[in-house]
Amino acid sequence: MRLTLRTQPATGGHPAEVIAGACLGSSGNLYSCAKTQTLRSESIADSSGFVVALPTTSKLVELLRMTKKSSKSTPAIVQEHPEDAPAGWEPVQRRLADSSGLSILLVDGRQPPALVVSANNSICHAFQSSPDHVSLCDPYCGEAHRRAMSSGGVVHYKCHAGLQCFTMRIQIARERNLAVIGGRAFVAGSDYRRLVERFRDGDLKKLLASNPLSNVIFSRPGKLDQLADRLHRAARQFKGQTSSLTATTEEPAPLESANAAAPEAPEVSKPLKSSSDLQSEIDQLRGELEYRSHFAESLRHFLDRISSTDPQNTYTAILINSKDLLLAERASLLVVDEKANELVLKAGVGLNAKISEVARIRLGEGIAGGVLETGRALVVENMEAAGIEPAPPERQYKTKSFISYPIRIGGRTIGVLNVTDKATGEKYNDVDLSLLEIIGPQVALALERAEWQERAKEFQLMSITDPLTGLLNRRYLQERMNEEVNRSKRYDYPMSFLMIDIDDFKSYNDLNGHQAGDQALQITAHCLKVALRSADVACRYGGEEFGILLPQTPLNEASAIAERMRQRVADTVYPHGKSQPLGGVTISIGVSTFYKQVDTPELIIAAADRALYDAKSKGKNRIESIQAS
């Protein structure tokens, strides 16, 4: 005999709602609902040890840190005690769970704990392991055994998390007081998206530390019915007896905690299947497994593929993977510029124009602008029938069907994904929209992370860039000089440095004003940049001085580059150049190079500075160098 004691808070609720959905997929995995498949998501781990099937964002990581300490203080609830299960049943149940892709629990009373748990949904494990959250499940899976014993048939219900489940009475060998809970799967992407929002910004933040999204299961209602039938047959074969099983579609509300005696199911015999029927079923199962294997291999790393440290790679990956999965020949991804309240094209496939040439789309403007304004997806099977003016013929669209889908996170729209021209020539419909609903939360989080990466890159660039000239600043030059000097020492590479000064710049500034002086600095910076190679580094050193780092460049090549710069500046017409003592704006350049006695950044810069002083003292508008003695 087993005694389980657990505090049961008073609970109540509304009847769970049955979802007659047809979408199918997994966290990061999706495919047509016409096929019967269920996949579990792959989990990924970040540096904090936070395992989750969604791209990690800074907000999620911060929430994890806040919850880790508190999660250690309260012991988790025991989930199963397989030693009390009928001998030999556990491997049978595990095989059924693995082949169906659904969760199965064998229970003999209130749950948790169960007798045996197979392929449990990580969301359910997180809820039912937490003393603070297990009560949310009590009116559903907690009452499943009593409902099954009262009904005698298959009872379907949807729990508070939006997971579709079933429970039914089962007899294994001589054990009659048993029931199974099966499914625990999302059958609609909208249910999954609502739950993700609760984990991210709602009442379930504290559960993030328990990895609730590491093994999320998606399916369709028909798969749950198939599993119920297979469980019944497996139990009948296990005990060597036959019995009937009736199926109901009762939608139970959370019930009072009372156990009612249930009548035993009458035993009847069923006709044996013919060999052709059995072969047909085997062929169907084989085809199903091959189909599942194909998509599992193709889509297993969906999350990995849409995540990148480079924002543009993320945009492209989101578009390409979404396009391929929806069989679209044309697609575009637009991201919201929140300051301007406009959509900006970030990636496109099959477009007739370059991304940089596509104009921004204002709120409410056109199809994508309308989706941005309403926050609702637009599925159009035929543009003309929907009263939408078709695109001009020169754009050469193959079909008149498309989907414009809002990418939303935390109640705000952050982008719009457009797909059109299905490769099969078919129309887009609600099934295709369901596929987008499945990947929507992952795409939104990846897009949000790319947005933050772009901002971080902008801030980083601002910290190393001179705002007036657009050249890199002295701080960046010092870091690069250290790198290049170390490389030259290690591999015996040559390296040179130019120190440049605008001749008589103080006179130019005093005569023409500071605005004219700033303009002269900008013109000079441009002259320097266009004379350089891609590997060279041009910096504003300070005031009217510029520094040029020339990696893997010997002194003679550095002198040639310096002459090109000097000549370009001398040939450039400045607004007030004629007022200069030399009749135009000119520069003087000092050249130094890396060698045995000059082998640190400080010594190299000092040598170039001495050479610049020599050039100034010898009449300006010239180049001088410091050579190895």
Catalytic residues: 544
SS3 (DSSP) at 308: coil
- Angle, helices 474-491/430-464, rounded to nearest 10 degrees: 90
Token pair in block for residue 69: 């300490």
Residue 470's nearest CA partner among 569, 565, 566, 540 is: 540
* Backbone torsions φ then ψ of 381, nearest 5 degrees: -85, -35
What span, in angstroms and rounded, lies between the C-alpha atoms of 309 and 326?
Answer: 25
DSSP 554-585: -HHHHHHHHHHHHHHHHHSPPTTGGGSTTSS-
Q: Are 532 and 558 in contact (CB under 8 A)?
A: no
Where does residue 283 rank: exposed (0-12), middle (13-18), buried (19+ CB within 10 A)?
exposed
DSSP code at position 138 = T
What span, in angstroms and rounded, lies between the C-alpha atoms of 315 and 596?
Answer: 48
Residue 466's nearest CA partner among 507, 526, 509 is: 526
Residue 411 CA: distances (Å) to CA of 10, 115, 374, 388: 32, 41, 12, 28
Tell me the pairing of strands 328-337 and 175-185.
unpaired
Is the sign of the CA dihedral 109, 111, 115, 120 positive or negative?
positive
Token pair in block for residue 307: 């995540």
SS3 (DSSP) at 409: strand
* Residue type at position 465: T
What span, in angstroms and rounded, lies between the C-alpha atoms of 223 and 233?
Answer: 15
DSSP code at position 2 = -
What span, in angstroms and rounded, lies between the C-alpha atoms of 475 and 314?
Answer: 30
SS3 (DSSP) at 204: coil
* Backbone torsions φ then ψ of 532, nearest 5 degrees: -100, 165
